[in-house]
Structure 1
Amino acid sequence: MEIKYELAKTLKEKPADESKLGFGHIFTDHMFIMNYDIGEGWHDARIVPYGDISLSPAAMCLHYGQEIFEGLKAYRTAEGKIQLFRPDENFKRMNVSNERMVIPKINEQDAMEALMALLNVEKDWVPYSEGASLYIRPFIIATDPYVGVRPADHYMFMIILSPSGAYYSTGLNPVKIYVESNYVRAVRGGTGFAKTAANYAISLAGQDEAHKQDYEQVLWLDGVERKYVEEVGSMNIFFVIDGEIITPALTGSVLSGITRKSAIEICRSKGYTVTERKITIQEVAEAYDAGKLDEVFGTGTAAVISPVGHLKWEDKIMEINDNKIGQISQMLYDTMTGIQWGKIPDEFGWIVEVK
C-alpha cells in the first residue's frame, strides 16, 4: 500500500508531566486517513497533520450512526522499544463490526501497515512513564451527504493517537459497579457484539444513573429476560465463584473483548478452570450470600483489569473481597501489563514490535 506523507510544519509541545496525562483528551501531531468510494474501493492512504475534518451536515454517519471503531495501545519498554499487544485481533474484530454495520471490509494487512507507518512518525509521543501508554483509535465513518436510510457509498478510515495515563484515576483500586435494571444495552441479533458508536450511546442513561448513585460503571443484564449478566459499559466481566472463573458466553450481544480473550488464555495456562456460560445476577447474589463470591473483575483495553469492590443490584449491596483486589485479578494485571511493557517474557506470541 502506498502511503503519502504531509508532515506538520510545527509540532506540538509534548506534555511535560506524564503523570497528568489523563485519558483521551490529548492528541498527537499526525493522523492517518484513507477513503472509500464505491467502484474504487479503499484508496488515497495518507498521513497528515492532526486536525479537524470537513463533513457535510448531511453526512450519513451523523444521522444514521453507520460507524465502527477499535481501541488498542502502544507501550514503551524500559529498553526503549515500542510494542503492540495483539493488534491483529483488533483488525480482525474491526472487520466483524464492518460486516454487521454494512461497511466495506478493510484489508487487515493494509490497516496494520497504516498503523505502523503512523507510529513510526509519532514515536516520540509514546510515553516513557510506567503505566502510561499511547492509546490508538482506528475508526470508520460513512460520509455520503444524503439524508436517507441505506448503506453509504463513501467512507473514511482514520487512525488517531492519544498519549494516556491510567483509565481510572484510582488506579488498580477496586471500582464500584451498579447493576442496571431499567434500561438494556443490546439483544441477540442486534449490534451488541460489534464495536459501534450506537452501543455506547445507548449505555449513557445507565452510566448517568450509576454516577448519580456514586458508582463508577454499569453492569448490563440481557435485554430479553433481564436476568443474565452481559457486560460492563466499557469492560467484559468475570466472577470467581468457589474457585471457578466464570464469564458470560459470547452469544451475540456481548463484545468479544481482546483483553477478555487474553485473560481466559492466561488463566487456563496457569491451571485455573474458566467457564464461558450464561450466569444470572441472582446466581451471583446467592454466591455472595453463601460466602463463595471470591472475586469480581472487569477486563478491557483501557483499564486492562478492574477489580470490583462493590456491586449494587437493586437494594442489595455486595462488598467483594473486603473491597480489595483479589489474587486472580492481581495475577492477570501483573501478567498482562508485564507482557505489554516487556517486563516478563511473552510466552504467547502476542507482542508485535514497532520497527
Structure 2
Amino acid sequence: MDLQILPIDHPKPRISDENNLVFGKQFTDRMFVMEYDSGKGWHSARIQPYAPFVLDPAAMVFHYAQEIFEGLKAFRRADGTIALFRPADNFARFNRSARRMCMPEVDERFVLDALLELIRLEADWVPHNQGTSLYIRPTMIATEPMLGVRPSNKYLCYIILSPVGAYYKGGVAPVKIWISDFYVRATEGGTGEAKTGGNYAASLYAAKQAAEDGYDQVLWLDAKEKRFVEEVGSMNMLFLYDGKIVTSPLRGTVLDGITRRSALTLLGDMGYQIEERALTVDEVMEGATNGRLTEAFGTGTAVVISPVGSFCYKDSCVRLGDGQPGKLTMELYHKLTAIQYGKEADSHNWVTLL
C-alpha cells in the first residue's frame, strides 16, 4: 500500500507559548488516515490536513463501541533530534487490542513508517522545553452504518498529534489515591487488557466521585473477591514492599503498559527482585502502617512515574513515609526520562530517532 501525502492549504499558527500547553487541547496541521473494507482490506492510506470526519449516525462505533487507541510520545532532545520511545511496542499492543475487539489488524511496520513520516512533516510542532513532548494518538473506529450486534465490515484508522506541556509543572508531586470497595474496572474474561474506550468510560463515575471527595485517582480491586489491587484508571501500579517490587500480574484485567514494562526492566537492572503478584488491599493498608510498604508509584505514558503519597480505603487513610515522593520513585523517574530525552544511554534499544 502506498502512502499519499496531501497538501495543506491553511497551516495553523505554530506553538506560541510552550509554558502554557494544555494536554490534549491543541492539534497539529496533519493527520494520518487509512480505511478498511471487508474483502478489500486496508486502503487509501494518506497524510492529510487535520479535519473532522463525516460519519453516518448509524456508524457502529456509536452503538456497539468498537474502538481502540494507543498513546505514545515524541521528544525533542537538546541537539534538536526527535526521539520516539518504544513505538513498535505500541503498535503491537494496538493489534492485540484489535483482535480482542474483533477489529482488523494493521501492518505494524507500515503504520509505524507512516507515523515517522507524519512526525517529520510536523516536526515544528514538537516543543523544545524540558518535560514537553508531542503526544501521539493512534485510533481505530468501526464506521459501517448498521444497527445490529456484530463486528463492523468497515473501519477507519487514524493518528493525530498534540503538543503537550510537562505533566508536573511545579515538580513531581505525590497523589492521594482512593481504593474503591464497590466499583470495578475489569473482570477476568472481559476487555480489561485491551486499550478500548469502554474501559475508560466505565471508570468515569468512580473517578468523578473520588475527585469530589478530594482524591486524585481510583485504585481498582479485582472484580471477583474485591481484595486484590490491580491498577489505577490511567496507570499501572508498582509497590516497593519488603524491599521487592510487587505489581499485579497481566491476567486479562490489567493493561500491559509500555511504561510498566520499561520500569520493571530498569528496576531489574538496578538489582531489585520483581514479584508479579497481586497485593491484597489489607497488605497495602497494613504495609504502609507497619513499614513493609515503603513506596508506591504509578506508571503511564502521560505521567511517566507518579508517586503515591497516601491510600484511602473505606474509613481509613494511610500515608507512605513522609508523604513525599520516595527515593526509588524519583530515581526511576529521572532514569526513564533521561533515556527518553537522550541524557542517558539507551542500553535496551527502546528509542527510535528521526
Q: Which residue of 2 aligns with 1:158?
A: 158
Q: Which residue of 2 aligns with 1:132?
A: 132
Instruction: Judge conservation of contact 2:92–2:108 (CA < 8 Å) in 1.
Output: yes
Establish whether residue 200 from structure 1 lines up as the match of residue 200 from structure 2.
yes
Instruction: Judge conservation of contact 1:298–1:308 (CA < 8 Å) in 2.
Output: yes
TM-score by length of 2: 0.98
Establish whether residue 175 from structure 1 lines up as the match of residue 185 from structure 2.
no
Q: Aligned-pair distance for 1:171?
A: 4.3
Q: What is the rounded CA distance, in whole Å, between the counterparts of 1:9 and 1:311 in structure 2?
A: 52
Q: What is the rounded CA distance, in whole Å, between the counterparts of 2:250 and 2:10 in structure 1?
A: 47
Q: Per-residue displacement from partner, 1:61-97 (whole Å, max 9, x unpaired)?
A: 0111000000000001000000100111101100110
Q: Aligned-pair distance for 1:39?
A: 0.7
Instruction: Judge conservation of contact 1:74–1:133 (CA < 8 Å) in 2.
Output: yes
Instruction: Judge conservation of contact 2:173–2:325 (CA < 8 Å) in 1.
Output: yes
TM-score by length of 1: 0.98
Q: Per-residue displacement from partner, 1:191-248 (whole Å, max 9, x unpaired)?
A: 0000000000000011011101111111001111111101000000011112111111
Q: Which residue of 2 aligns with 1:214?
A: 214
Q: Which residue of 2 aligns with 1:310?
A: 310
Q: What is the rounded CA distance, in whole Å, between the counterparts of 1:214 and 1:289 in structure 2?
A: 21
Q: Which residue of 2 aligns with 1:111?
A: 111
Q: Which residue of 2 aligns with 1:272?
A: 272
Q: Per-residue displacement from partner, 1:259-294 (whole Å, max 9, x unpaired)?
A: 000000000011011111121111111212212211
Instruction: Judge conservation of contact 1:102–1:151 (CA < 8 Å) in 2.
Output: yes
Q: What is the rounded CA distance, in whole Å, between the counterparts of 1:158 and 1:290 in structure 2?
A: 49
Instruction: Judge conservation of contact 1:166–1:303 (CA < 8 Å) in 2.
Output: no
Instruction: Judge conservation of contact 2:131–2:167 (CA < 8 Å) in 1.
Output: no
Give the partner amino acid of 1:346.
D
Give the partner amino acid of 1:153.
N
Task: Give the match's secondary structure for 2:119.
Answer: helix
Instruction: Judge conservation of contact 2:15–2:125 (CA < 8 Å) in 1.
Output: no
Task: Give the match's secondary structure for 1:23.
Answer: coil
Q: Which residue of 2 aligns with 1:337?
A: 337
Bigger shift: 35-44 or 168-177?
168-177
Q: Which residue of 2 aligns with 1:142?
A: 142
Instruction: Judge conservation of contact 1:22–1:167 (CA < 8 Å) in 2.
Output: no
Task: Give the match's secondary structure for 1:307.
Answer: strand
Q: Which residue of 1 aligns with 2:262?
A: 262
Note the 1:1-355 alignment, pairs <5 A.
1-167=1-167, 171-354=171-354
Q: What is the rounded CA distance, in whole Å, between the counterparts of 2:222 and 2:333 in structure 1?
A: 28
Q: Aligned-pair distance for 1:169?
A: 5.4
**Paired residues, what number?**
354
Aligned structure 1 segments of 4 or more residues deviating by more than 6 angstroms? none
Instruction: Judge conservation of contact 2:28–2:161 (CA < 8 Å) in 1.
Output: yes
Instruction: Judge conservation of contact 1:235–1:299 (CA < 8 Å) in 2.
Output: yes
Q: Per-residue displacement from partner, 1:107-146 (whole Å, max 9, x unpaired)?
A: 1101101101111110000000000000000010000011
Instruction: Judge conservation of contact 1:240–1:294 (CA < 8 Å) in 2.
Output: yes
Task: Give the match's secondary structure for 1:54.
Answer: coil
RMSD: 1.0
Q: What is the rounded CA distance, in whole Å, between the counterparts of 1:234 and 1:19 in structure 2?
A: 24
Task: Give the match's secondary structure for 2:130.
Answer: coil
Q: Aligned-pair distance for 1:321?
A: 2.2
Q: What is the rounded CA distance, in whole Å, between the counterparts of 1:89 and 1:318 in structure 2?
A: 36
Task: Give the match's secondary structure for 2:12.
Answer: coil
Q: Aligned-pair distance for 1:15?
A: 2.4
Q: Aligned-pair distance for 1:327?
A: 1.4
Q: What is the rounded CA distance, in whole Å, between the counterparts of 2:172 and 2:274 in structure 1?
A: 23
Give the partner amino acid of 1:243.
G
